[in-house]
């Protein structure tokens, strides 16, 4: 199964700034998924990132706010742009464990606080 290294693990940022979160996978994967968990809420899919094409965003999420890069089959970044306190959340990346019937593996998360 894949192992994901995600960084940073946590950060405290000023409003109006941007933070880029990185995920490195130890094997090549076609699709990477980015999730957010706001306080007291469920894990929610932000977007799906394929190598060589633009990410596909879920309803309520836009590229200008959450630009994603996927330069190769083992790496992806998510940027949280022009942050406000409402962006304070845990952000997670994820890939499939072989196939969807085995579930997904996740990074250890980035805990973001915007002040």
Partner 1 sequence: ILNVEQSPQSLHVQEGDSTNFTCSFPSSNFYALHWYRWETAKSPEALFVMTLNGDEKKKGRISATLNTKEGYSYLYIKGSQPEDSATYLCASDTGFQKLVFGTGTRLLVSP
Q: Which residues bind partner 1 (CB under 8 A)?
A: 4, 9, 31, 33, 40-45, 48, 58, 92, 96-97, 100-109
Minimum CB separation of residue 82 from partner 1 in Å reads 26
Minimum CB separation of residue 62 from partner 1 in Å reads 17
Minimum CB separation of residue 108 from partner 1 in Å reads 5
In terms of DSSP bridges, do strands 110-114 and 89-96 run parallel, antiparallel, or are they unpaired?
Answer: antiparallel
Residue placing its CB nearer to partner 1 in the complex, 43 or 62: 43
Asked if 107 and 93 count as a contact pair (C-beta separation under 8 A), the reply is yes
For 41, phi and psi rounded to 5 degrees? -110, 175
User: What are residue 79's DSSP bridge partners?
Assistant: 20
């Amino acid at each position: 199964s894949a192992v994901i290294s995600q960084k940073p693990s946590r950060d405290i940022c000023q409003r109006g700034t941007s933070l880029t979160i990185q995920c490195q996978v130890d094997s090549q994967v076609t699709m990477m998924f980015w999730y957010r968990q706001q306080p007291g809420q469920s894990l929610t899919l932000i977007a799906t990132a394929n190598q060589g094409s633009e990410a596909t965003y879920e309803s309520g999420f836009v590229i200008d706010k959450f630009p994603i890069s996927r330069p190769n089959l083992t790496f992806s970044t998510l940027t949280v742009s022009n942050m406000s306190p409402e962006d304070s959340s845990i952000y997670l990346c994820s890939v499939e464990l072989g196939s969807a019937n085995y579930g997904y593996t996740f990074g250890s998360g980035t805990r973001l606080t915007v002040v």
